[in-house]
């Protein structure tokens, strides 16, 4: 006799409960005990979960009915979602494929000076630029230059899109308390959702061979910091400065471009730095769904138990992370210095 039988009898729900039937399959412990002619003793006071309640009342759904309902609901709306999302997200595939082709097609003796020039322009630091050159040399020394460039191409595209989308969203949040209150729970969800979970619905929506599959996952995972810090940076602008701008007759657009964004730039740059780091972290996970680059070698090391391959690829990812972190932090320090001098 199930534990909660008396409860349903007390509530007068016997007839309603009898209309359903308990369909819960036997667990392995139950099957083994049944084979030995024994009874499985459960906890003295089982938690009133759906499965435990279903044993006493067949009309109550089981846990597997909930998960099956979610799956069937998602599959029901999949055609409509795919019809809407396919044309919208297709440019992302073009951008990722184009960037990947460019980074692979450009010879190293052109690509490396370009990357060094970008590092120098962003940081204005000889030490950082030299470090970038040495790090790329080390990657090339162990024949990881090509896969490192593949990873870098994905980072450039996904970080760029995250910034282009995230900064306007952050600005809009800073101007509307209602929008901020409605957006923060979504950002909390995106920030706390395990990275593997991002891939589950996307695998059902898009083909594994499509670049936008991993591109969307990376952007959703990495966009949160730049949105949050853009919103925070603009909200932290001194109210006296805003009042002075109003006194000069600036409208909202002039005040945003001329006053608020320059003063919020250090916070925005900090958000960009975090977005870059989160993009790189997600690129490794995205290798599970055909994302090229260093993550593929890490996955190969895990699958085939090739310790050396996995460790070398992991060190390569660390080197890339340090490169991106040093360059973005040097750029942030430069922005801070310009901000303080003005």
Residue 118 lies in a domain: yes
* Position with higher pLDDT, 225 vs 332: 225
Residue 66 lies in a domain: no
Q: Are residues 35 and 166 in the same domain?
A: no
pLDDT the model gives residue 30: 56
Q: Give the C-alpha separation, 342 to 330, whole Å.
A: 19
Position 282 pLDDT exceeds 50: yes
119 is in which domain, residue-wise?
71-341
Please give the tally of structural domains in the chain. 2
Strand ranges, E, within the chain:
none
Among 33-42, 115-124, 157-166, 263-272, the range scoring the smallest mean pLDDT is: 33-42
Q: Are residues 320 and 180 in the same domain?
A: yes
Domain boundary among 36, 61, 86: 61
What confidence tens digit (pLDDT) does each residue in 48-73 have? 778 778 777 877 888 888 888 888 98
Predicted confidence band at 254 (pLDDT cuts at 50, 70, 90)? confident
Position 239 pLDDT exceeds 90: no
Domain boundary among 40, 61, 82: 61
Percent of the chain with pLDDT over 90: 44
CATH number at residue 217: 1.10.3720.10
Q: Are residues 55 and 107 in the same domain?
A: no
**169, containing H or E segment:** helix 145-175
Q: Are residues 53 and 78 in the same domain?
A: no
pLDDT the model gives residue 253: 86
Percent of the chain with pLDDT over 70: 91
Let me know if 118 is exposed, middle or buried by CB neighbors in 10 A (0-12, 13-18, 19+): middle
| Average pLDDT value for the chain | 86
Q: Are residues 108 and 50 in the same domain?
A: no
What mean pLDDT comes out for the span 126-132? 92
Which is nearest to 147 in space by CA: 306, 316, 272, 17? 316
Q: Are residues 168 and 293 in the same domain?
A: yes
Q: Which residue is it, tokens 């002039």?
A: 254
What confidence tens digit (pLDDT) does each residue in 6-18 have? 777 777 777 777 7
What confidence tens digit (pLDDT) does each residue in 196-238 have? 888 888 888 888 888 999 999 999 999 999 999 999 999 998 8
Q: Find out whether 199 and 263 touch, Cβ atoms under 8 Å.
A: no
């Amino acid at each position: 006799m199930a534990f909660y039988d008396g409860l349903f009898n007390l509530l007068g729900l016997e007839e309603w409960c009898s209309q359903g039937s308990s369909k819960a399959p036997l667990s392995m412990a139950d099957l083994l005990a049944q084979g030995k002619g024994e009874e499985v003793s459960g906890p003295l006071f089982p938690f009133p979960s759906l499965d435990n309640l279903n044993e006493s009342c067949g009309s109550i759904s089981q846990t597997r009915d909930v998960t099956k309902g979610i799956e069937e609901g998602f599959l029901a709306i999949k055609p409509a979602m795919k019809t809407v999302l396919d044309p919208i997200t297709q440019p992302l595939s073009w951008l990722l494929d184009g960037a990947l082709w460019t980074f692979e097609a450009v010879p190293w003796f052109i690509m490396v000076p370009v990357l060094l020039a970008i590092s120098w322009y962003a940081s204005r630091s000889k030490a950082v630029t030299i470090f970038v050159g040495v790090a790329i040399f080390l990657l090339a020394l162990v024949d990881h230059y090509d896969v490192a460039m593949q990873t870098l191409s994905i980072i450039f595209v996904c970080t760029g899109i995250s910034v282009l989308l995230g900064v306007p969203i952050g600005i809009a949040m800073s101007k509307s308390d209602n929008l901020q209150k409605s957006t923060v729970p979504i950002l909390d969800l995106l920030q706390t959702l395990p990275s593997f979970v991002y891939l589950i619905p996307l695998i059902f929506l898009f083909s594994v061979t499509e670049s936008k599959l991993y591109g969307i996952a990376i952007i959703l995972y990495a966009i949160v910091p730049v949105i949050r810090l853009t919103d925070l940076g603009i909200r932290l602008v001194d109210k006296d400065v805003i009042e002075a701008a109003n006194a000069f007759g600036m409208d909202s657009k002039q005040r945003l471009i001329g006053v608020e964004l320059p003063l919020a730039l250090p916070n925005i740059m900090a958000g960009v730095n975090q977005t870059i780091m989160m993009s790189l972290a997600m690129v490794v996970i995205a290798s599970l769904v055909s994302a090229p680059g260093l993550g593929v070698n890490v996955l190969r090391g895990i699958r085939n138990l090739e310790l050396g391959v996995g460790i070398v690829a992991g060190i390569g990812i660390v080197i890339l992370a340090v490169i991106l972190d040093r360059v973005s932090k040097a750029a942030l320090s430069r922005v801070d210095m310009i901000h303080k001098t003005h």
